[in-house]
Structure 1
């Protein structure tokens, strides 16, 4: 709640007026002590995004605890521990360069953080697609969501969700358009 909204609410309550609703333009408020819906990006999310954008495998590995798991659901890839996180960034850097993570919003609840972001980049000659398909030199930008779970300040898990079909369409590879079935 913004300072102005709090002051208006306090003035109204002092005058004996009950406020039924807070305007939709009010800043997000803290729901509980364990839930923050502010637009503040947690430091670990900033470090995670920076490790991706700079394609720094060592920086990413330092964020993970020894049992941490990084899962990219679009590519159905999963890597465990700091070494696994390091490997995932190295593999990605080899096939997408530059890559960029642009964080838009975060929601924190206890040790879990939901992150909405844009994943963008340009495929290199080492694309993960098999011939005759190539995305080399082609760029994409897709919306993504990640759920990050922490354990003692380190990442225990990251689950990345974005639409691989959107990536494929943007770089000119077959993805197949969805056609809803017709009702009988």
Structure 2
């Protein structure tokens, strides 16, 4: 099951990244897992930059994003965003604007999800965008069981700050694993 879940996360990340226009080094690197991950000489500067990110670990913003989500301070997450940022959780149909909105979303998440945890599995960056494959886990307040689901986040950057954050995961999986009916509504 874990192998299937990892393959699914990889496929979703590749599909979302393709839609977002993030190609090149990431595709090159995923085809050569045991070899040195160095783009060809004809690669563009942005592809080379993405390759370096991949080769030497996750982009710094992915690490900061993970640490901020796992902290108890919602302002730590908000500080990663521009003042005009937009954060959208597409599974729940929720959008929050500005740093105050991001902080509000982090607060609401922690209130409704006990032991909420974000684990970044992989990430890559190219041309002002970052794709993050992550695992979202926790225990919905009042639910009989905890959940752990694969997720993807696409970030658009302005300098070193996040302008937009789009999270994608399967709400039905969260509810099913939590032991709740699929038509559960959150208010």
The alignment's TM-score, normalised by the length of structure 1, stands at: 0.73
Which residues of structure 2 form unaligned runs of 5+?
1-30
Q: Name the larger-Rg structure.
A: 1
CA contact (8 A) 1:70 1:78 kept: yes
Determine the C-alpha separation between the residues in 2 that align with 1:162 and 1:26.
31
Work out the CA distance in 2 between the residues paired with 1:49 and 1:23.
27
Structure showing the higher helix proportion among its residues = 2
Give the Cα separation in 1 of the matches to 2:97 and 2:158: 14
Corresponding residue of 1:168: 175
Conserved in 1, the CA contact under 8 Å of 2:59 and 2:124?
no
How many residues align structurally?
145
Partner of 1:41: helix, strand, or coil? coil
- CA distance, structure 2, for counterparts of residue 44 and residue 24 of structure 1: 23
How far is 1:97 from its partner? 1.9
1:148 matched to which residue of 2? 155
Deviation of the 1:24 alpha carbon:
5.4
8 Å CA contact 1:65–1:155 kept in 2: the answer is yes
Structure 2 length normalisation: TM-score? Answer: 0.72
Note the residue ranges of structure 1 that are not aligned, 5 or more in a row.
1-21, 126-134, 177-184
Kindly provide the CA deviation profile for residues 134-167 of structure 1, in whole angstroms up to 9, marking residues without a partner as x.
Answer: x2x5310000000011012110000000000000
Are the counterparts in 1 of residues 149 and 170 from structure 2 also a CA contact under 8 Å? Answer: yes
Instruction: Report if the CA contact (8 A) 2:139-2:178 is conserved.
Output: no
In the other structure, the counterpart of 2:37 is 28
Aligned ranges for residues 35-114 of structure 1 at < 5 Å? Answer: 35=47, 36-37=50-51, 38-39=54-55, 40-114=57-131
1:52 deviates by 1.1
Residue pair 1:55, 1:99 contacting (<8 A) in 2 also: no
